[in-house]
Structure 1
Amino acid sequence: MPSRVTRGLGAVLAVCLGTFAQADVDLATADTCLTDHLSHNQNPSACIDQAHQRCLTTPETMTASAVLCFGQAREAWNIGIAANMDNITQNADDRIAAIAAVELKYDLLANLMQCDRMEELAKLGAVATGDQIARQRAQCEASAAGLVYLRVKMRAQSLQ
């Protein structure tokens, strides 16, 4: 029978991560990038832009393609987050797993709140088009999930 923490973690992941789609981000490459950046005392957030390279280079005239690309990237990060949280749940005691679930929830919510902020400011500025705002929002949400993935991955590695 699953523990209360495991059931709670499942609920948190379902709410925070949503449904999964075919992924565009290669998590193994992202993991290698993370390890490399950390070993050289470099900021690992560059690994997110590297993983999003195809999306970032989609022409401005192809907003729908870029939004779809970033959406697939976000889903790939979500799959990685769920896998790492499963690892934490299996390898840590219930208290540590519960703390990791709370950290995950609020890391993701804080990141997504920044996406809301950027979108609202872009709409107020009236300089960006609707397509530009949609693309920016999709990129922000993918990056938000990517940053959470990096944090969860580092937490999972620290338990080994």
Structure 2
Amino acid sequence: MVRNLLLALCLALPVTAFAEGDENGAVPQLRACVEDSASNGAELAGCIDAAHRECLQYPPDTAPDAAAKCFLDRKKTWGDAISEQMDSLKEGTGGQAFEIARIDTRYDLTANLLQCDRLTELAQLQDLPDPRIKAQQARCEATATGLTLIKLLLRPGAAK
């Protein structure tokens, strides 16, 4: 539900570009997918799924540690991109517009990550193996951070 709400908010905002910067090209690929999906009215969640395809090759039942590492790496990529985007917004808009973006981004990410904590606690009730729970949590956190980045990429005044 939170994910759908976040996606609906993203669709309501105009698309802007993002300064590229990660080694494996995940951020430019995500940006291109977001721009394409938004202009075609497609669901933006597919962009996160596509960006995480590499990590999904590791089944959580048989390779949970590899899956967790991959998703944690992707989460870091998205987090670094959020920081770069915020720096760009600060330089470009500054003042109150930047402060609003900073507050929105912090609370968007916090709310998204809180859902991951909830899912982790529910998984622990099912007595799943710890490595599998960690892989699930890493995937959720990468998705939560990626969705926050998507919303930031679509924000008016985002870097071109």
TM-score by length of 1: 0.79
Note if contact 2:48-2:147 (Cα within 8 Å) is conserved in structure 1: yes
1:78 aligns with 2:79: yes
- For the residues of structure 2 that align with 1:41 and 1:122, how far apart are their CA atoms? 34
- 8 A contact 2:58–2:66 mirrored in 1: yes
Match of 2:117 in 1: 116
Partner residue, 1:49: 49
1:38 aligns to what?
38
Quote the offset at 1:25 in angstroms: 6.1
Q: Which residue of 2 aligns with 1:63?
A: 64
**What letter is aligned with 2:68?**
V
Write the deviation string for residues 39-76 of structure 1: whole angstroms up to 9, x where unpaired: 01112121111011011111331211111100100011
Give the aligned partner of residue 152 of structure 2: 152
- The structure that has the greater radius of gyration is 1
* Conserved 8 A contact 2:26-2:51: yes
Would you say 1:95 and 2:96 are equivalent positions? yes
1: distance between equivalents of 2:36 and 2:58?
Answer: 27
Query: How far did residue 24 of structure 1 move?
Result: 5.6
- Contact 2:89–2:158 at 8 Å: present in 1 too? no
Distance in 1, Cα, partners of 2:41 & 2:87: 27
Query: What percentage of aligned pairs have identical amino acids?
Result: 33
CA displacement at 1:93 relative to structure 2: 3.4
- Flag structure 1 segments of 5+ consecutive residues without an equivalent: 1-21
Match in the other structure for 1:142: 142
Deviation at 1:124, TM superposition (A): 1.4
Q: Distance in 2 between the 1:101 and 1:157 partners?
A: 13
Aligned length: 138
Residue identity matched to 1:89: K
Mapped contact 1:63–1:131 kept (Cα < 8 A): yes
Which secondary structure state, in structure 1, belongs to the residue aligned with residue 155 of structure 2?
Answer: helix
Q: State the structure with bigger RCO (CA 8 A, min sep 6), 1 or 2.
A: 2
Superposition TM-score, scaled by structure 2 size: 0.79
2:124, 2:133 within 8 Å by CA — same for their partners in 1?
yes
Alignment match, 2:17: none
Higher helix share: 1
Root-mean-square deviation over aligned CA pairs: 1.9
Paired with 2:121 and 2:88, the residues of 1 have a C-alpha distance of 37
Which blocks of at least 5 consecutive residues in structure 2 are unaligned? 1-21
Q: Give the letter for the 1:55 counterpart.
A: C
Match of 1:19 in 2: none
